[in-house]
Amino acid sequence: MDIRRSLSTFRLNGPIPVEQLNSLFRELVKKYHPDKVRDYPDWAHERMSEINEAYETIVEWLENPPAESEENEISENHEENHSYEVAPSSTHSEGMPLSTALESRLRSAFNKFLDGLGTYYQYGLEKHEHRQEGIRRFRFREASRLIIEGRDELESLLKGYRHPVLKIVARFARLTTADIGLSKAKFHYNKFFRKIDMRLDSARRDFDDAIKEILFPEFIPNHLRGRATSKLYTCYAVFALYMIIFNKGERHKFGVLMADRYDALMDLMELKNCGLLPP
């Protein structure tokens, strides 16, 4: 594994003391060890293999520091490809650069939100029936707490800073939290409505898979990556059609929410393409 990917695995953007690396390694082991993720043993083994390989690569890199020019190149490329943190000293095409203080607070709040969202997807909690099953019930509470806290911190920042980057990140967090908080829809069915509702449910599942590919690619086996994101526009077409067919009532609200989530995700991906968020 190359050093850039290894640093990304540990959410690092440069050298740190070995003691701190060991602490991060222990935290990852607690989270991803197969004994902790018994519902997905194959995925857990694959994830732990990546973590172990990344750890060994970083230790070797720290013991044999690269030349300054090489280190700068690694840092620059890492900022372009980092999977969690907002890249430092970045700008958005519509706004001024983020101040160091605001960027730090934005990173902290968004990473908290992502930690919760990662747990949410790791345990398959987008499937409502899983939220009441044993350990998953507690994981859902843990994930919900982090997601809501991250969202609230972003909303609090937004009250004081109307930066376009913050607006986009906070909107994505707000709409995602709203969708997670919804119970499985229980509408009055007839034969026609059932088919349309099933299409919406399928599109929502595909949309969740796309978010996992974009924000948590480590959750997706290599040979499956790219499949969900290729369906994104189809998801939007279903959301828009649903919103048009049902122009009022609870179904219409569902369609509006999902169409808005699609727009928010597209804005988030644009930030990533600008180097502010992971590509």
Evaluate whether 74 touches 59 at the Cβ level (below 8 Å). Answer: no
Closest CA to 242 of 262, 258, 219: 258
Evaluate whether 86 touches 112 at the Cβ level (below 8 Å). Answer: no
Quick one: pLDDT at residue 68? 54
pLDDT tens by residue, 151-173: 999 999 999 888 889 999 999 99
- Between the alpha carbon of residue 214 and those of residues 102, 217, 228, the distances in Å are 24, 6, 9
**Could you say which architecture CATH assigns to the domain 1-82?**
Orthogonal Bundle (1.10)
Which of 30-34, 69-73, 195-199, 225-229 comes out lowest in average pLDDT? 69-73
pLDDT tens by residue, 115-124: 999 999 988 8
- Return the H-helix or E-strand segment holding 68: helix 68-81
Distance CA 40, CA 136 (A): 12
pTM score of the predicted model: 0.64
pLDDT > 70 in the chain, percent: 79
Quick one: pLDDT at residue 156? 95
Exposed / middle / buried, residue 235 (Cβ in 10 Å: 0-12, 13-18, 19+): buried
Average pLDDT over residues 95-119: 86
> Does 81 score more than 70 pLDDT?
no
- Between the alpha carbon of residue 160 and those of residues 96, 99, 100, 163, 267, the distances in Å are 16, 13, 15, 9, 21
